[in-house]
Amino acid sequence: MSRTPLLALTTSLMLYFSAALPAAAADAPATAPASAPTIAAAAPSQKVLRYAFRIAETAFDPPQITDLYSRTIVASIYEPLLEFAWMARPYQLRPATAAAMPEVSEDFKTITLRIKPGIYFADDPAFKGQKRELVAADYVYAIKRHYDPRWRSGNLYILENAKIAGLSELRKELIAAKKPFDYDREVAGLRALDRYTLQIRFDEPQPRFLYQLADPSFTGAVAREVVEHYGDKIGEHPVGTGPFRLTQWVRSSKMVLERNPTYREVFYDETPPPERADLQAVARQFKGRRLPLIDRVEVSIVEENQPRWLAFLNREFDFLEEMPAEFAGQIIPNNKLAPNLAKQGITMERYPRADVSVSYFGMEHPVVGGYTPDKVALRRAIALAVDIDREIQIVRRGQAIPGQSPVGPNTWGYIPEFKSEMSEFNRAKARALLDMHGYVDKDGDGWRDLPDGKPLVLEYSTQPDQQSRQLNDQWKKNMDAINVRMDFKIAKWPEQLKASRGGKLMMWGVGWSAGTPDANSFLELGYGPNKGQANHARFDLPEYNALHERQRILPDTPERAEMIERQKKLMIAYMPYKVHVHRVWTDLAHPWIQGYQRNVFVRDFWRYIDIDSAEQKRRTAK
């Protein structure tokens, strides 16, 4: 007997698949594409991967996006020059559209690489019926777009910090002259030497810039005529050279990607670590097969964890990314897959993400910001009053480890043995700090006031989902215990992101995922010139900035490691961010999903997995 779809029965889920919601983010288009009001059904013979995002997408144009979920979609459409090998450990780069690994000068100031001839963009009306080959100039254009103020790139800070010769100067010159960005102006640091050869030159050594060449959000190839054809609606019409293309989109509800028929011949050839016998078998089984292995991906937006989990159990989703922590006791008691799930053939992949969960303090906010001893004491007292162990046990159900600094696992510079005040829970010390600096109850209402007698009220921005509500409850209990009043400002995540970038929030809790296996991805959070981009706290300390500018141009040496540790300690001392945890994630897959494993630096994993259609049909018919 076939199953009645759970999505048709569960009221909370029905809301997610109703008419498209209005746009929330300023850098997202106002409406869904006119060509995609509904979701077309997959052909019966197609291999279709179905799963859900927890948070809605914003758009699909690399310069305009900073969120993980939009970047995941983009990664299967736009291709960078390099990529991380899917199964290799330790993490390794390899050519993607590049013909070979780049030539890097001894001083780390020049990168030269050649693109493979014969790679083509997906067909699109912008090309007027002509096949459009990928060339070096497309990468020049794609990188320059981040410098164009029109697109308000949230990734610009990474490229500007790399100091590509002449690009920041060109941007400043044109802004001062109130002129549009000049894409035709050649700069010394970014040139197409010929049709297939790209050269990047830097004013300072950049020992790790190759990592950025593996991220489609920074260096995914974009055709200029596509951007000019769609203009401000380019975020609705992504056109790349990758294995998939976006065919349907209902904003904040569902996205459909299908195999790109013009995608070149790329074949499965992976080398797993020797200790993973299961992956060794997969690598042998799939070797030589053409990618992608599946035909279609359907991604739904289901913000609440319970309906997302129930839909997976009901086999309406094939794959569950990031198991809902509140169900950990049912799914992975003692961190082992529950017998009833194992009996169904469900598999799990458990791994530490290269991420950090933080709450930031707006350093320019009159209540919690500033660098004077009383303001530092306030932030440190608030941090000391946060019971991280209880948060991990109650809200995260043991699926995290306490964070000691902003630097997350799986990155160079993360030291598991490093311990600090960041994870300390000490209400007595918190109260003493507040008392010492004049944050006492002056009017007798039971709540602490500011030293000048005005009420001390913390405003914490948050989202309406269940886990956020649980985290809010923990915050409220922690602050009540030290007599500090806390209010919550609830809005959808894209709205909070827009306000945060504008420096309008007092406090906000966010997760930050590294795109590269290096500590710098996290240390950018505290670098002053990154205000409004990575640096949501707007922390700006000259000593920290100087260390950051020095360590990022050094190779991975003990000297660099020492500087990174000093940066960590400055972030702990001034507390612009209260680091909560590093999450441990568990992904689940039904037995018809083949070849899945997790590489935390590969977002476009869809092309590497297969679906056993016969097994899927057999299991879902029960």
* pLDDT surpasses 60 at 611: yes
Give how far Cα 81 sits from Cα of 103, 134, 196, 554, Å.
13, 11, 12, 23
The per-residue pLDDT for range 267-325, each reduced to its tens digit, is 999 999 999 998 999 999 999 999 999 999 999 999 899 999 999 999 999 999 989 98
E strands along 325-365, which residues? 347-352, 355-361
Reduced to 3 states (helix: H, G, I; strand: E, B; else coil), residue 93 is strand
Reduced to 3 states (helix: H, G, I; strand: E, B; else coil), residue 583 is strand
Confidence of residue 247 (pLDDT cuts 50, 70, 90): very high
The per-residue pLDDT for range 501-512, each reduced to its tens digit, is 999 999 999 999
Q: Say what percent of the chain tops pLDDT 90.
A: 86
The amino acid present at 155, given as its one-letter code, is N
Residue owning tokens 């948050």: 462
The per-residue pLDDT for range 558-602, each reduced to its tens digit, is 999 999 999 999 999 999 999 999 999 999 999 999 999 999 999
* pLDDT surpasses 60 at 91: yes
Give which of 582, 586, 612 is closest to 598, Cα–Cα. Answer: 586
Q: Are strands 82-84 and 48-53 parallel, antiparallel or unpaired?
A: unpaired
Q: The tokens of 41 are what?
A: 């059904």
Span of 148-152, 474-478, 532-536, 559-563 with lowest mean pLDDT: 532-536
Entry pTM: 0.85
In sequence order, what are the residues at sequence separation of 6 or more whose Cβ sits closer than 8 angstroms to the Cβ of residue 292? 243, 244, 259, 263, 606, 607, 608
Measured from the Cβ of residue 192, the count of other Cβ atoms closer than 10 Å reads 18
Assess contact for 521 and 413: CB atoms under 8 A. no
Q: To the nearest whole number, what is the mean pLDDT of the chain?
A: 92
* pLDDT surpasses 70 at 537: yes
Omega cis (within 30) before 90: yes
The per-residue pLDDT for range 187-234, each reduced to its tens digit, is 999 999 999 999 999 999 999 999 999 999 889 999 999 999 999 999
CATH number of 6-259: 3.40.190.10
Provide the pLDDT for residue 154. 87
Assess contact for 60 and 227: CB atoms under 8 A. no
The per-residue pLDDT for range 395-453, each reduced to its tens digit, is 999 999 999 999 999 999 999 999 999 999 999 999 999 999 999 999 999 999 999 99
d(Cα 108, Cα 165) in Å, to the nearest integer?
Answer: 13
Q: What are phi and psi of 315, to 5 degrees?
A: 65, 25
Provide the pLDDT for residue 466. 87
d(Cα 178, Cα 608) in Å, to the nearest integer?
Answer: 46
Provide the pLDDT for residue 515. 87
Measured from the Cβ of residue 372, the count of other Cβ atoms closer than 10 Å reads 9
Assess contact for 81 and 115: CB atoms under 8 A. yes
Domain extents in the chain: 6-259, 355-583
Confidence of residue 66 (pLDDT cuts 50, 70, 90): confident
Reduced to 3 states (helix: H, G, I; strand: E, B; else coil), residue 23 is coil
Provide the pLDDT for residue 39. 56
Provide the pLDDT for residue 21. 26
Provide the pLDDT for residue 11. 28
Confidence of residue 468 (pLDDT cuts 50, 70, 90): very high
The per-residue pLDDT for range 21-64, each reduced to its tens digit, is 222 233 333 333 333 334 567 777 899 999 999 988 999 999 99
- Architecture category of domain 355-583 in CATH: Roll (3.10)
